[in-house]
Amino acid sequence: MNRAEFMAELERQLARIDERERAEAIAYYNEYFDEAGPENEARVIAELGSPVRVAAQIKADAAVKGMGKTEAPPVKKGISTIWIVLLGILALPIAIPVAIALLGAVIGLLASVFAVIVALVAAVVAVCGGGVLAFIAGAAVLFTHAPTGIFYMGGGLAATGIALLLGILVFAASRALVGGVARLLDGIRVKGRERHERKAGERNDG
């Protein structure tokens, strides 16, 4: 591994942290390599160890920082546990249907995303298969009727090529879709928890 590979891998490992944090870390290690000089490049890389480990140290620190920011509001101890339990029991008739409805919505969302991806993949496979068949058919009639054979062979190749390109697009789109849904669900979960904590805080203040 050389310096460029090390830095590229480090940057990839840090893809998920805050952009400014990442830029600072990259700048730090670039400067570090510059100071060490090209003659020490191999030694520095050996001592730094794997970019994964270096990134882990940076990410651990970034996580600690994130924890400080979303510190849970202090919970007063004044309210007795029995009241909270009673409140929970009374809320059950509302909470359970709401939870079921939410679960249903999430399952529906996942199912529709899955269906869209399956449909896209099926379409790509169909176009690709059609192209291959057309090519084979064209080759079969090539010697009996050359223009028709060439036409089908060319059409088949074009269809297969387009299908492969579409396949790449579909793959990228599927990844984006799945990632988007994952982030959405994560967002709902985090928001729900924040709201829950806020409510708990208000209840205790009252």
Partner 1 sequence: MGFQVGSALLDACVLSVLQREDTYGYVLTQTLKSELGISESTLYPVLKRLQRDACLTTYDQAWQGRNRRYYAITEKGSEQVKAYRRDWESYRNNVDKLLYGGDLGE
**Contact set with partner 1 (CB under 8 A):** 24-25, 27-29, 31-32, 34-36, 44, 47-49, 53-54, 57-58, 60-61, 64-65
Residue closer to partner 1 (CB basis): 6 or 152: 6
Residue closer to partner 1 (CB basis): 58 or 163: 58
Residue closer to partner 1 (CB basis): 54 or 153: 54
Other C-beta atoms lying within 10 Å of the C-beta of residue 155: 16
Q: Least separation, in Å, of the C-beta of 56 and partner 1?
A: 9
Q: Least separation, in Å, of the C-beta of 194 and partner 1?
A: 23
Q: Following DSSP, what letter does each residue of 15-58 receive, concatenated?
A: TTS-HHHHHHHHHHHHHHHHHH-GGGHHHHHHHH--HHHHHHHH
Residue closer to partner 1 (CB basis): 34 or 194: 34
Q: Are 4 and 19 in contact (CB under 8 A)?
A: no
Q: Least separation, in Å, of the C-beta of 54 and partner 1?
A: 5
Which residue type does 72 have?
A
Q: Are 17 and 63 in contact (CB under 8 A)?
A: no
Which residue type does 98 have?
V
